[in-house]
Structure 1
């Protein structure tokens, strides 16, 4: 079935094309991080419930080896993450990121080049080292 309804383009799709599946994933997120965690969910306003907060979360741990070989899982994850970063970005964006990628890349840079410190922080450490009569921090230029 070909659908030519431009009004749907900005909002995803139609049920016939599977938009309910994405909606279902959003519902799962609400159930786990809201209802199961005894937090607020949906469009409930915290002031309507007398709640001062709307901060709940869901954390899960899985035993990968209960599902499949761990090495195969890691190889599949590497393949999937490569697929994500090689996806052409949307207009106005330079690349596609996944959760944790920017932090991982920054960690690699800092392990290689060191952690940048503001001049005043370095001066404070140097002053403390003099007071304690110990060697100052080594600086990498």
Structure 2
């Protein structure tokens, strides 16, 4: 539909800010150092509006997204960052799995650099 131009415009702006602005190229043929540009923006929300109003509207937006009609074949509607938040909470609770072979290498390195007492064995 006609709403497609918004996504296109947003993707072009992201490409400009994270690729061209950083000197790392753009698209399928980056001409910079490597294809790994990054752009971060920090906003003082309270300079625009009261922070509590902003937070409430973000919460309302998340609810609106969750209430959208779900596409066939999906079990849940997720908003950006939701999976990562869940994974963070799970890892804080359960820890981070490390394969035995990797753990063995870390133990060997800790002995080599005389820091094995720092490991929780």
TM superposition score normalised by structure 1: 0.59
Over 3 Å counting, the alpha-carbon distance change for 1:117 and 1:31 in structure 2 is closer
1:77 paired residue number: 58
Conserved in 1, the CA contact under 8 Å of 2:24 and 2:33? no
Counterpart Cα distance in 1 of 2:97 and 2:46? 42
2:7 paired residue number: 22
1:104 maps to 2:104: no
Q: How many residue pairs align between the two structures?
A: 106
Give 3-state SS (helix, strand or coil) of 2:54's partner: helix
List runs of 5+ in structure 2 lacking aligned partners: 104-116
1:59 paired residue number: 40
Q: CA RMSD for the aligned pairs? A: 2.9
TM superposition score normalised by structure 2: 0.67
List runs of 5+ in structure 1 lacking aligned partners: 1-12, 122-131
Instruction: Tell me by how many angstroms 1:99 deviates.
Output: 2.2
1:115 paired residue number: 95
